[in-house]
Structure 1
Amino acid sequence: MKAEHCTLCELETPDPPITDPDIDGVFCCSGCLHVYKLLQNMEGEQAEQLRKQTIQKRHNEQKETTLPEDYEEAFFKVNGMHCSTCESFVEALADREDSIYKSEASYASEMIKVYYDPKSITPDTLPDKLSKLGYKVRPIESSAKEEQLNEVARIIIGGFFGIIGLLLYVLFLYPSYLGGGGIVPLTENEKLFFVSNIFVMTTFVLLYTGFPILRGAWVSLSVLKPNMDLLITIAAVSAYLYSVGAMLIGSSEVYFDVTMAIVLVVSIGNYYEKKIKSGKHNLLAKLTEKRIQYARLLQNGKTKETAIENLNPGDQVLVKAGERIPIDGTVIDGRGVVNEALMTGESIPVSKDVGDSVLSGTILTQNALTIEIGDSVESTIDNLMQMMWNIQSARPGQQRLADRIATWFVPSVILLGIVTFVYHMMSGAGATESMLSSLAVLIVSCPCALGLATPLAIASGIRSGLEHEIIFKTAAVFEEQMDTATAAFDKTGTLTTGTMQLLDNGNNEQALRYAAQLEQYASHPIAEPIAAYATNKNTVDDFTSYSTGISGQINGMQIFVGQPEWINNHLQITEKQWEKINSGRNEGNVPVAVGWDNRVRSILTVGDQIRDEAPKIVKKLQSEGKKVAIITGDSKQAGDAIRRKLNPDFLFTETRPDSKSNIVEELRKFGRIAMIGDGSNDAPALAQADLGIAFGNLTAIAADSAHVIIPREQLGLIPAAFNAIKLTKKRIRQNLGWAFLYNIITIPLAIAGAINPLFAAVAMATSSLLVVGNSSRDMQLISE
């Protein structure tokens, strides 16, 4: 049979291809189908341009590096990466290993994906082979406590020596720079004695506390990408070398204080940023759900707890009401109701009978099921995690603004140093004096303020977010160049409450009381909001539960409650009641019929209600210039109801997890995109988006895949998160402005040879205090 090609991207389609009765054409995936729908509503020229971009991207994906058939892949966390330069270097380190075919690192997610030869190496041995030069590679689920302790030790020990060294400066050296004798008058030899002690302390601070900075500078040189670490290192090492030279020729005018101040202040600033970021972990621990690690294996009529990885094709697994289904499979015994919202986005629970398939990660809410594993052991929830890790590890982080500045500032400073040397030589100064003036330019070129500008502003943004329970997992979100153009919402659990509510009590109070009395004995999610109206005054006899309804006797009458089509087999439903049933379904809700004595007495309506603030938030985002897209697994009818109530710019219905990420990728053509969702089914899309926001009653995978986490079910915090990012970007630029003001003042003075160590120290402290003060200001995230 001749292969068909996708109408959108022209790649081969699966057999059978993805189709839609309302759309002409065949498609390779749901994402292409939805994107094709989107293009139909656009102007011809723009639609054709986006279509060509899509074709090129999909074909580029097909041309990726060919790997041997027996390759395997593994994912790891990497501590120590803090810029895009580190990505290139860590990948280079991994690629030097003969047993590793390829690697992809991302500093934004602090992850690396490794393609390796399983015959030569095992995943357990990879972290040790890849942990080099201060980059610590560790398993995904391990903690980074050891590295955190090392950072604290560097700060404490370096700070101890730095305080003593700076105290000696204040007591003995600074007064001599002003022409005074100090608290205790000293001879030149005595000054040199203190200078030599300061030299030892500075050496320790530079090499031990400053090791991460020096490493970052060396890495940037090795991959030819100058960064802020290199700029800081040039200033710190220049001051150190200048001071060593001055000490050796008997001068007490040394810049060891500049070296210590730069290293300590920048290290403390970086640590403060990490400390603020780590404050999210305690909060996250209370929010996320553990992965399913064990299943109840059924053998010879008995069950035993077995690890998921030990299950085999054909094994039978028992799942009880209230439990998460641990593995994909087919129901071979039992009837139940499964809540698939967190995996598929479908808000209405689904009845499962013998022969029906079930997905891992979904929740069995009623009865018990025996599930048989198919020809291969598949876990949808693990597949989602794999997809999410693939996306995260493959997406490089954007270079930090300060590092982008450093790429041109470093060469400029070095050039200025050379020009200064030549200028003084041509002016008749000696080689030593000219060299000292040149070194002075390098020393004052990078104040502490420049090293503090970004980490303190980011720490302020993260802290302000935490005060509102908005958790920014990565600093990279504050340094993207463009503002968000499109905000894409998952519907269920985000724009809606995610829980079933009784939206219409019907027209018969007695019917509602009888239904509530019966529903107390049911475990179906639709039963809960109805059961809340029970008065417990009536006794239920002969209660029976079916896959689509329940029945029982109250006061001698047989009461039926359930799906209208099921009840229609027992009781009569009027034409007017059918109209209400169809109307409720058109709104995406669930009609529940209640009746006795041969006829239905009332139609109740249960549904997942749109949050009260949702229309206001959608309008607010649109008023800020953002387009709003809604992505849902619900039917087209339910989607139309959402469109009428919220009026989004884009609406996608009947979506699956894989198509959500494809939709996000295509929406990126309109600009930077944010994805907001709560369930495991949203994880790939959250990871794929430029900004992933996990919202509300979220799952562990959603939290892991997102850049921002909002655990409170308050939609108003979503604009607040955007506001925090915007204000933090502005503050970073303000801080860099203050830092460069220092350069504008001091570099010309250094070129002229008019800088002394005391002036450099005072100017540096002043600029740093301005940055600290600006970063410490409160942020107003929520507008009235």
Structure 2
Amino acid sequence: METHKCSLCELETPDPPITDSEVKGTFCCSGCLHVYKLLQDMEGEQAERLRQQTIKQRVSEQNKTELPEDYQQIFFKVEGMHCSTCESFLETLAGRKEGIYKCEASYASEMIKVYYNPDALDPDTLPPELSKLGYGVHQMDEDATSEQLNEVGRLVIGGFLGIVGLLLYILFLYPSYISGEGFIPLTASEKLFFVSNIFVMTTFVLFYTGYPILRGAWVSISVAKPNMDLLITIAAVSAYLYSVGALLTGSAEVYFDVTMAIVLVVSIGNYYEKKIKSGKQDLLSKLTQKRISHARLKQNGQSREVAVENLQSGDQILVKAGERIPIDGTIIDGKGIVNEALMTGESMPVPKEKGDQVLSGTILTQNALTIEIGSTVKSTIDELMQMMWNIQSSRPGKQRIADRIAAWFVPAVLILGVATFIFHLWNGAGTTDAMLSSLAVLIVSCPCALGLATPLAIASGFRSALTHDIIFKTASVFEEQPDTSTVAFDKTGTLTTGRMHLLDKGMNRQALKYAALLEQYASHPIAEPIARAYSNSDREVQDFQTFSTGIKGIIDGHQIYVGQPEWIRKNEFAISEKQWRKVEQSREKGHVPVAVAWDKQVQSILVVGDQLRTEAEKIVSALKKEGKKVAIITGDSQLAGEAIQKQLQPDFLFSETQPDSKSNIIRELKKFGRVAMIGDGSNDAPALAQADLGIAFGDLTAIAAESAHIVIPNNHLHLIPSAFKAIRLTKSRVHQNLGWAFLYNIITIPLAIAGAINPLFAAVAMATSSLLVVSNSSRDMDLTDN
């Protein structure tokens, strides 16, 4: 057998290799073929550089560490991940378990993929063993609510104790810091009693309500990646330890209020963010799950329902009209029409008969089929889900902006604290006074505002987007660079309506009436728009018959044929040259010509097809004016793709693509800059997951929605610019909030170094900065397209 090398990535091609009459060379996949075409239009040096990058990437993928042949892999959902440091920690934690070869955690998708030895490990035992230190690991189909209940409990109990503790501060301690007396005069022992009670409340708030923050800090230390949790912990714990020391020495000048305020306000901010984000579930729950769990198995002349996972090679299954095909296989009995748009993106239904292959997830729209499973039990829709999860799991988590700031701010604060201690000793202060000044720097270094800056701004972005039915599935999109170089659209169902329309009614009104009457009895997708043309008629149809390529019946004494022009001609009906030109022209545009014939003559040619959304041209034009490149990726034929290209004039067109080709195209386009992918079907899932920004749009499948960063579960294409605007405005608001927070630091840290901070001043300054952040985050966002 002759072997070939891919002309793009130089890996071995399948047999036979992928080829194209317009391009010289052989390719390992259609994705490489499309990218090779793209590179031909570029300057030689740039094209060669991108080609070498492709070779390096593809070879590195093949040369990854080989796993034993007996390995299996499983995916779990993870509750409690909130930054990229969690990825490293969970991978280390799981890697210590005997029987696990390796694992990959992804904060972006909140998933962990485990490669394990099935002989040494039962995967059902992994979730409880990996659920440690507040991380909740669950099966993919399990509804995990324990983490949410625990979080509510922490806030309710901690909030009650915090209110009581701060009330004691207001009544007895704050007035004493000003005048030496509270509203009610207290003896030293009575004041110590109240401070002791505040100590108990603060201890509970810090170690119970603040447990997720403390855990995050410990995780960041264990993986040597300082984050915002560590910065908050340093301030809260420093204030707590200082206050405990003051309490033991009999002083009532304590910072327990700072500890409670930091922990409670940051915890409430984080909870508010999660609560707003959880609103997306109300919309996502409306999406229909397309994965099939059961099949109708034929045995001994009878059929019974069995679970898809129990099917074996050689089994025969029965699929009826209107049902989804549950497993890949070969038709051994029956003829039908299959809608493959879900899996291939091809908008036109495909006739199938004995000997043809069918894919799981596609819809049988007409008649019934008996399908035999091949030598291997294969589900294309499950393979798509696996491909999507593989891409998501390997996507690296991005650190939040505040966490990136904390990575250098934490060491800076620690150095300032040490420097303050040395400075005061150098100037003759006692060790105790120098230590207090040093601790004051640590206490005021992290205001509540810095902890609130990101979650409140993001929660505001989520809330504003949800009011427009735009669902952001992950906060990371608000903190990554929002500018995209290329926007790639799936055609069918995104730029087009995804539904059949009667585009040309023909010149013969009587022919249209007859065709509409006949099509009312057909289940083919093309029948519906024709049947709607004349839904009310008192005429009767007799002797109705259906075929894979057409239908026929008797109306008003005439034998009427409606179907493919070739089928009509085979039945000895004459078709004129003018009519045949119309057939060819409609197919060049990617549409379906339908012939209507009687009395030995084709009386009319109707044209049915998908059509562009009314706002598609405006949206594409607006994106190009912003300096973005626009790509259209479609599973439709090259002729259909070129028809769309003439109307929308995209920068790139990729036609006749398969799901794996789409993800390869996105991966190559990313070499030109950030790529946003917009699609609706399961066939788009790998590309949505591969893109820097995936937007699932329109009449979605659950797999597409699961793969994307943003979900727009309606057919309003104009909301796509609104989604980009929400990202831009939210990112701007995060930066504004961080600016207010740092203004607090600029004021308070020098005062702390100078030893001029007291508990009352710290509380007032912290409250002021927090209120500024809250008010800035609460402002409404205008997401309308200006």
TM-based fold match above 0.5: yes
3-state SS in 1 of match to 2:127:
helix
Question: Which position in structure 1 is the counterpart of 2:551?
Answer: 550
Question: Which position in structure 2 is the counterpart of 1:244?
Answer: 244
Question: Which position in structure 1 is the counterpart of 2:569?
Answer: 568
3-state SS in 1 of match to 2:595:
strand
Corresponding position: 1:715 with 2:710: no
3-state SS in 1 of match to 2:202:
helix
Question: Which position in structure 1 is the counterpart of 2:678?
Answer: 676
Contact 1:95–1:103 at 8 Å: present in 2 too?
yes
3-state SS in 2 of match to 1:202:
helix
Q: 1:12-31 counterparts in 2 under 5 A?
A: 12-31=12-31
3-state SS in 1 of match to 2:500:
strand
Cα offsets for 1:603-636 (capped at 9, x unmatched): 1000001100000000111112211110000111
Question: Which position in structure 1 is the counterpart of 2:220?
Answer: 220
Q: Which runs of 4+ in 1 moved over 4 A?
A: none
Specify the code of the residue in structure 2 equivalent to 1:741.
L
3-state SS in 2 of match to 1:753:
coil
Question: Which position in structure 1 is the counterpart of 2:757?
Answer: 755
Structure 1's unaligned 5+ residue stretches are: none
Specify the code of the residue in structure 1 equivalent to 2:277.
K
3-state SS in 2 of match to 1:378:
coil
Structure 2's unaligned 5+ residue stretches are: none
Structure 1: distance between partners of 2:539 and 2:112: 62
Structure 1: distance between partners of 2:420 and 2:311: 72
Contact 2:77–2:110 at 8 Å: present in 1 too?
yes
Question: Which position in structure 2 is the counterpart of 1:182?
Answer: 182
Cα offsets for 1:687-744 (capped at 9, x unmatched): 1111111100000100111111000100000111111011111111111000000000
Question: Which position in structure 1 is the counterpart of 2:115?
Answer: 115
Shift of 1:536: 2.1
Question: Which position in structure 1 is the counterpart of 2:560?
Answer: 559
Shift of 1:482: 4.8
Shift of 1:231: 0.2
Question: Which position in structure 1 is the counterpart of 2:384?
Answer: 384
Structure 2: distance between partners of 1:369 and 1:569: 25
Contact 2:492–2:498 at 8 Å: present in 1 too?
yes
Q: 1:374-523 counterparts in 2 under 5 A?
A: 374-523=374-523
Contact 1:340–1:350 at 8 Å: present in 2 too?
yes
1:587 to 575, 589, 592: 589
1:598 to 589, 592, 600: 600
Structure 1: distance between partners of 2:188 and 2:437: 23
3-state SS in 1 of match to 2:179:
coil
Shift of 1:180: 4.4
Question: Which position in structure 1 is the counterpart of 2:281?
Answer: 281
Contact 1:288–1:703 at 8 Å: present in 2 too?
no
Structure 2: distance between partners of 1:192 and 1:625: 67
Specify the code of the residue in structure 1 equivalent to 2:748.
T
Corresponding position: 1:735 with 2:731: no
Structure 2: distance between partners of 1:17 and 1:569: 36
Structure 1: distance between partners of 2:30 and 2:118: 34
Shift of 1:340: 0.5
Question: Which position in structure 1 is the counterpart of 2:539?
Answer: 538
Structure 1: distance between partners of 2:562 and 2:122: 57
Question: Which position in structure 1 is the counterpart of 2:268?
Answer: 268
Structure 2: distance between partners of 1:259 and 1:627: 50
Structure 2: distance between partners of 1:460 and 1:296: 48
Cα offsets for 1:466-511 (capped at 9, x unmatched): 0000000111111113511111111000000000000000011000
2:580 to 561, 578, 581: 578
3-state SS in 1 of match to 2:537:
coil
Question: Which position in structure 2 is the counterpart of 1:141?
Answer: 141
Structure 2: distance between partners of 1:508 and 1:30: 43
Structure 2: distance between partners of 1:590 and 1:291: 29
3-state SS in 1 of match to 2:596:
strand
Structure 2: distance between partners of 1:722 and 1:297: 48
Structure 2: distance between partners of 1:567 and 1:178: 98
Structure 1: distance between partners of 2:363 and 2:194: 71
Shift of 1:126: 1.4
Cα offsets for 1:273-299 (capped at 9, x unmatched): 100011111111112325210001111
Structure 2: distance between partners of 1:484 and 1:126: 39
3-state SS in 2 of match to 1:64:
coil
Contact 2:231–2:410 at 8 Å: present in 1 too?
yes
With 187-196 and 517-526 compared, the bigger mean Cα shift is at 187-196
Cα offsets for 1:584-605 (capped at 9, x unmatched): 0011100001111111111100
Cα offsets for 1:554-579 (capped at 9, x unmatched): 01001110001100112111000111
Superposition RMSD on alpha carbons, in Å? Answer: 0.8
Shift of 1:134: 1.2
Contact 2:482–2:728 at 8 Å: present in 1 too?
no
3-state SS in 2 of match to 1:618:
helix
Structure 2: distance between partners of 1:696 and 1:163: 47
3-state SS in 2 of match to 1:60:
helix
Contact 2:265–2:452 at 8 Å: present in 1 too?
yes
Contact 1:79–1:135 at 8 Å: present in 2 too?
yes
Cα offsets for 1:280-324 (capped at 9, x unmatched): 111111123252100011111111110000000010111111111
2:703 to 701, 704, 727: 701
Structure 1: distance between partners of 2:659 and 2:746: 53
Specify the code of the residue in structure 1 equivalent to 2:741.
A
Contact 2:564–2:595 at 8 Å: present in 1 too?
yes
- TM-score between both structures, scaled by the size of structure 1: 0.99
Structure 2: distance between partners of 1:689 and 1:341: 21
3-state SS in 2 of match to 1:779:
coil
1:619 to 618, 621, 626: 621
Shift of 1:128: 1.7
Shift of 1:44: 1.4
Structure 2: distance between partners of 1:757 and 1:486: 53
Contact 2:492–2:634 at 8 Å: present in 1 too?
yes
Structure 2: distance between partners of 1:625 and 1:121: 53
Corresponding position: 1:660 with 2:662: yes
Contact 2:682–2:701 at 8 Å: present in 1 too?
yes
Shift of 1:144: 2.0
Question: Which position in structure 2 is the counterpart of 1:90?
Answer: 90
Shift of 1:3: 2.2
Contact 2:462–2:471 at 8 Å: present in 1 too?
yes
Structure 2: distance between partners of 1:51 and 1:5: 14
Structure 2: distance between partners of 1:327 and 1:783: 44
Shift of 1:2: 4.2
Specify the code of the residue in structure 2 equivalent to 1:567.
I
Question: Which position in structure 1 is the counterpart of 2:689?
Answer: 687
Question: Which position in structure 1 is the counterpart of 2:291?
Answer: 291
Corresponding position: 1:371 with 2:364: no
Structure 2: distance between partners of 1:584 and 1:194: 86
- TM-score between both structures, scaled by the size of structure 2: 0.99
Specify the code of the residue in structure 1 equivalent to 2:713.
P
Question: Which position in structure 2 is the counterpart of 1:37?
Answer: 37
Specify the code of the residue in structure 2 equivalent to 1:769.
L
